[in-house]
Homo-oligomer: A and B are copies of this chain.
Amino acid sequence: MSDAGSRRPTVYDVAQEAGVSIASVSFAFRRPERISEATRERVLAAARRLGYAPSAAARGLANGRTGILGLHAFDLMLERADPSDIAPPRPDTRRPPLDAGAIIPWSQTDDETLSDPRAFPLYVDEVQRGFALECWMLGRPVVLSSGSDSDVSVADTAGRVDGLAIFPSPVLPTALLRMPATIPTVLFSVAPGDDPHHRVRVDNAGGMSALVDHLVRDHGYDDVAFVGRQEGFDNAERFAAYRASLTRWGLRPRDEPIDGTVRGPHRMVEQLSALHASGALPRVLVCATDQHALMALDALAALGVRVPDDVAVTGFDGILAGRLSTPTLTSVRQPMEAMGRAAARILAGTAGPLPEGQTRFDAVFAPRVVIRHSCGC
């Protein structure tokens, strides 16, 4: 891509240029105090003249650490609103070449999602932002990676970092098997277990319980259904808490949660439409996530069902998009940015001492019910 030029300059080149040994070059960069100011100057000047920059790979090899923290997301987590691009287009050949020279018109920029509130950051983005922010404060670079399970990608990035945080995925257990045992790892939203990995998660039960309390106590709803596949630890915990909470109020949860999938025979749209046709729509849809809730909002609008008048809808997560939907989304917000930061601190070793008798962190954050309009408030 660039002017090939000659090969990258190394310590040897700089040493020769400056008329010193390679050790002096190294010292000039890393141990300023162990070298005379004069030679240091000479070395730095030579380095600049040659366009030299130390190779992180070589340094990493030499002292056994890369200095980078990593954050990995499996492809499944990267689903965007558009169902058509759920399958991540890998070797993407369909993009037109960059038409440099002329001004690139707006129409070629794929920025038309502007009007779609779902263009807003999702769960992953917000956690990631917190992670990156904390790393910035610590002065450490972050590497972001993604990949499917079949790839060696997780193990691959594990090889580049001093610590790795990983988003949840059905394929996580498999992937973890291929991971080096020696590198510190934080798992987001994964059930506690015997493995040596740290955890950062949210108190799903507490959040769901508070939400159901609001729906039943403050609104008097008694026909409350759950939307969202039980897939994943978070969703399962939320579903369990939904059941428990309703039961506590003496109400009967609907037995089968409504499926939250986007495609396939059990698509949410199809199910809601069937329920609507048979006049069996529940009074409230408690959704496993905000994304489910936003999808439900769309589906209901398409059916001509009014929210919250006919059906109330709630989400979980508190992503920004929920503030822009119509109606605005009542949800249970988890402190995503804080969770991302916590993971970074754990990996960087700045999270403080481990709790008494523990060998790893299990940080459970309290969520908070955020009441907006979709619940009927």
**By CB atoms of chain B within 10 A, which of A2, A92, A146, A183 has the most?**
A2
Chain B residues lying within 8 Å of A336, measured Cβ to Cβ, are: 111
Contact with B along A38-70 (1 / 0, CB 8 A): 000000000010011111111111001010100
- B342 pairs with A103, CB closer than 8 A: no
A60 and chain B: residue at smallest CB distance:
B57
- A337 pairs with B51, CB closer than 8 A: no
Cβ of A185 to closest chain B Cβ, rounded Å = 8
Band of interface residues on A: 35 or more
- A361 pairs with B139, CB closer than 8 A: no
Chain B residues lying within 8 Å of A183, measured Cβ to Cβ, are: 2, 8, 53
Chain B residues lying within 8 Å of A137, measured Cβ to Cβ, are: 88-90, 92
- A111 pairs with B144, CB closer than 8 A: no
A338 located at the interface, meaning its Cβ lies under 8 Å from any Cβ of chain B in the complex: yes
Q: Identify whether the interface residues of A are mostly helix, strand, loop, or mixed.
A: loop
Q: Number of copies of this chain in the oligomer?
A: 2
Contact partner, A180, options B52, B95, B351, Cβ 8 Å: B52
Binding site for B on A (CB under 8 A): 1-3, 5, 7-9, 29, 48, 51-61, 64, 66, 68, 78, 88-92, 95-106, 108-111, 114, 119-121, 125, 129, 132, 135-139, 141-147, 152, 155-160, 163, 177-184, 196, 203, 206, 318, 320, 323-324, 333, 335-338, 341-342, 345-356, 358-359, 361-368, 370
- B352 pairs with A5, CB closer than 8 A: no
Given contacts A48-B178, A101-B355, A159-B54, contact A139 B90 (CB under 8 A): yes
Given contacts A100-B354, A100-B358, contact A105 B349 (CB under 8 A): no
Cβ of A125 to closest chain B Cβ, rounded Å = 7
